[in-house]
C-alpha cells in the first residue's frame, strides 16, 4: 500500500489521432513541475500517477500550475485481492470526517468479483459500522469515498482542481507585452493556458522608471513563468523613443504613437524569438488608447496577429482573475510605469490615421527602433 497523486487531464481527451502527442507533452510538463521534489510521473490507463515526491504540499501546488491538468487527488494505491483490506482502508481514510457520505466505485477491471453497486453497498455498510456518527446521502453527500478497481485498487476522498487548458508548447509561441500593471499578466496567463509558449517584452524608461519598477516586472514575469515552463523576458530601453515623441509630435497623440512603437518593437522581438503572434492586456474602452479607433491605429503598424484576450472583460473581472493567479498584489505595488510618466492631459480618443502619420513624420522610426533593439537586456526565467 502506498500514497500517490492521481492526475486527470481535461480537454486532451477530445483529441483524436493526435492524443499521444498531447499526452506525452503533458507528461513532460508534469515531470518538470514535480522534479524539484523528486516526483516521478507515469501514465497508465488514462491517468498520470505521481510517486516518490518529498514535499506533498509543494508537489500539489506545482501540479496545479500545469495547464492541461483537469484535477488531482491524493490516493491510496493498494492490492485489490483482499476486499476486506479495501474496506478497512476506506474506513481508516474517512476517520475524522463528519456529516454525510457516499461510496462511488468504478471498475475498469470487469472480471472483479463484485459489481460497482455491490462495492458501494458493502463498503458503505462497513464504514457505517465503524463510524456510526456518519450517515449516507447518495444524492448530495458532504464527502465522496471514491474506489477505483484497476490494476490495483485506488481510494481517495478529496479532489483538487487543476488549471484546465492545454499543455504549454502544444499551440505555438507568442510574445506578451508585459507592463507593470494588472491586465497584461492576466492576458499572458489566458493565452498560455491554451497551450501557447510565451516570451515577454517590457518597455523600460530609465530613469523615469527605476530599478524597483523593473524588479516588479521581473517578479510578475516569474509568477507567469511558473505556469509557462519558463520564459524569456526582454527589457527594452524606451526612454529615447519617449523623449523624441514628447519633443517632436502633437501632444494629444503622444500615447498613441508610443503604443505604435511598442507594437513595432514587440514584433521585432517576436521575429527574433520565433513567436507567431503578439499579446496585450487591452480591454476595449478602458482608457483613451484602447478605444476602437485607437486600437485600429496601433494594429496598423504590425503584420502579426495581435491577441487581446481581455478585450471584452470589465476591470473587476480582470482583478478577480489576477487575484486567482496571484499576480494582483505584485501589480498593485506603487512603482511608476513608463506610460504614466509621459501621459498627455488630453489624449486623443478618436484618432484618425492621417493625423497619426503626420504626428509621426518628424521621427526617424527605423533608427529609433534599431537603437532600442541594440540595447535589449534578456532575462531567462
Cα distances (Å, whole numbers) of residue 21 to 13, 25, 29, 160? 12, 6, 12, 25
Phi, psi of 67 (to 5 degrees): -65, 140
Least distance from ligand ATP to the Cβ atom of residue 358, Å: 22
From the list Mg ion, ligand ATP, none, pick the one residue 286 interacts with, judged by a Cβ distance below 5 to 8 Å according to partner type. ligand ATP
Of residues 301 through 360, those in contact with ligand ATP by CB under 6 A are 337-339
Q: Is 205 in the site for Mg ion (CB under 5 A)?
A: no
From the list Mg ion, ligand ATP, none, pick the one residue 93 interacts with, judged by a Cβ distance below 5 to 8 Å according to partner type. none
Least distance from ligand ATP to the Cβ atom of residue 186, Å: 8
Least distance from Mg ion to the Cβ atom of residue 184, Å: 7
Residue (65 or 202) nearer to ligand ATP, CB: 202
Cα distances (Å, whole numbers) of residue 198 to 50, 57, 262, 279? 26, 27, 17, 9
Q: Is 331 in the site for Mg ion (CB under 5 A)?
A: no
Q: Which stretch binds Mg ion (CB under 5 A): 147-155, 175-183, 271-279, 289-297?
A: 175-183
Residue carrying C-alpha cell 509561441: 173
State how far the Cα of 333 lies from the Cα of 363, in Å rounded to an integer. Answer: 34
In 3-state terms, what secondary structure has residue 346?
A: coil
Q: Is 185 in the site for Mg ion (CB under 5 A)?
A: no
Residue (160 or 272) nearer to ligand ATP, CB: 272
At a CB cut-off of 8 Å and minimum separation 6, what does 214 contact? Answer: 202, 204, 235
Least distance from ligand ATP to the Cβ atom of residue 177, Å: 3
Whether 359 contacts 249, CB under 8 Å: yes
Q: Is 181 in the site for Mg ion (CB under 5 A)?
A: yes
Q: Is 254 in the site for ligand ATP (CB under 6 A)?
A: no
Which of 34, 178, 257, 294 forms a contact with ligand ATP (CB under 6 A)? 178
State which residue has the least CB distance to Mg ion. 181
| CA 157 to centroid of chain Cα atoms | 26
Q: Is 190 in the site for ligand ATP (CB under 6 A)?
A: no
Residue (62 or 220) nearer to ligand ATP, CB: 220
Least distance from Mg ion to the Cβ atom of residue 351, Å: 19
Helix crossing, 315-324 with 183-193: angle to 10°? 70
Of residues 272 through 311, those in contact with ligand ATP by CB under 6 A are 280-282, 286-287, 289-290
Residue (144 or 271) nearer to ligand ATP, CB: 271
Q: Is 219 in the site for ligand ATP (CB under 6 A)?
A: no
Q: Is 179 in the site for Mg ion (CB under 5 A)?
A: yes
C-alpha torsion sign, points 130, 131, 136, 141: negative
Enclosing H/E stretch for 322:
helix 315-324
Q: Is 263 in the site for ligand ATP (CB under 6 A)?
A: no
Which of 41, 60, 149, 177 forms a contact with ligand ATP (CB under 6 A)? 177
Which of 53, 83, 189, 203 forms a contact with ligand ATP (CB under 6 A)? 203
Q: Is 182 in the site for ligand ATP (CB under 6 A)?
A: yes
State how far the Cα of 242 lies from the Cα of 209, in Å rounded to an integer. Answer: 12
HSE-up of residue 294 (Cα within 13 Å, Cβ side): 22
- Beta-bridged to residue 49, according to DSSP, are 6, 42
End-to-end CA distance of the chain: 39
Q: What is the DSSP string of 66-94?
A: STTEEEEEEEEEE-SS-HHHHHHHHHHHT
From the list Mg ion, ligand ATP, none, pick the one residue 268 interacts with, judged by a Cβ distance below 5 to 8 Å according to partner type. none
Number of residues this chain uses to bind ligand ATP (CB under 6 A): 21
The torsion defined by the Cα of 177, 298, 324 and 75, in degrees rounded to 10, comes to -70
Interacting residues toward ligand ATP by CB under 6 A: 177-179, 181-184, 201-203, 262, 280-282, 286-287, 289-290, 337-339
Interacting residues toward Mg ion by CB under 5 A: 179, 181
Amino acid at each position: 500500500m502506498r500514497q500517490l497523486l492521481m492526475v486527470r487531464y481535461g480537454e486532451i481527451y477530445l483529441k483524436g489521432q493526435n492524443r499521444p502527442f498531447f499526452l506525452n507533452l503533458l507528461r513532460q510538463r508534469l515531470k518538470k513541475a514535480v522534479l524539484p521534489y523528486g516526483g516521478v510521473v507515469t501514465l497508465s490507463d488514462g491517468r498520470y500517477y505521481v510517486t516518490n515526491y518529498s514535499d506533498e504540499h509543494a508537489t500539489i501546488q506545482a501540479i496545479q500550475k500545469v495547464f492541461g491538468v483537469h484535477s488531482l487527488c491524493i490516493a491510496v494505491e493498494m492490492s485489490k485481492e483482499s476486499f476486506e483490506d479495501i474496506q478497512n482502508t476506506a474506513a481508516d481514510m474517512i476517520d475524522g470526517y463528519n456529516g454525510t457520505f457516499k461510496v462511488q466505485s468504478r471498475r475498469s477491471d470487469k472480471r472483479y468479483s463484485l459489481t460497482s453497486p455491490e462495492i458501494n453497498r458493502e463498503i458503505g455498510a462497513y464504514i457505517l459500522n465503524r463510524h456510526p456518527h456518519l450517515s449516507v446521502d447518495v444524492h448530495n453527500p458532504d464527502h465522496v469515498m471514491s474506489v477505483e478497481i484497476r490494476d490495483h485498487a485506488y481510494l481517495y476522498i478529496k479532489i483538487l482542481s487543476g488549471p484546465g487548458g492545454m499543455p504549454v508548447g502544444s499551440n505555438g509561441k507568442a510574445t506578451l507585452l508585459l507592463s507593470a500593471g494588472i491586465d497584461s499578466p492576466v492576458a499572458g496567463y489566458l493565452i498560455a493556458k491554451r497551450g501557447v509558449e510565451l516570451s515577454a517584452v517590457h518597455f523600460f524608461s530609465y530613469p523615469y522608471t527605476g530599478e524597483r519598477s523593473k524588479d516588479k516586472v521581473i517578479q510578475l514575469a516569474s509568477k507567469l513563468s511558473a505556469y509557462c515552463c519558463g520564459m524569456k523576458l526582454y527589457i527594452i530601453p524606451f526612454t529615447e523613443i519617449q523623449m523624441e515623441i514628447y519633443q517632436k509630435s502633437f501632444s494629444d497623440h503622444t500615447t498613441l504613437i508610443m503604443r505604435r512603437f511598442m507594437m513595432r518593437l514587440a514584433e521585432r522581438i517576436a521575429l527574433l524569438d520565433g513567436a507567431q503572434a503578439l499579446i496585450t492586456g487591452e480591454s476595449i474602452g478602458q482608457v483613451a488608447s484602447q478605444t476602437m479607433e485607437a486600437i485600429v491605429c496601433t494594429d496598423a503598424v504590425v503584420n502579426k496577429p495581435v491577441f487581446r484576450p481581455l478585450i471584452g472583460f470589465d476591470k473587476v473581472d480582470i482583478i478577480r482573475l489576477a487575484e486567482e493567479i496571484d499576480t494582483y498584489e505584485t501589480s498593485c505595488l506603487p512603482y511608476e510605469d513608463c506610460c504614466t510618466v509621459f501621459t498627455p492631459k488630453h489624449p486623443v480618443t478618436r484618432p484618425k490615421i492621417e493625423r497619426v502619420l503626420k504626428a509621426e513624420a518628424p521621427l526617424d522610426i527605423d533608427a529609433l527602433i534599431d537603437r532600442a533593439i541594440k540595447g535589449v537586456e534578456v532575462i531567462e526565467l
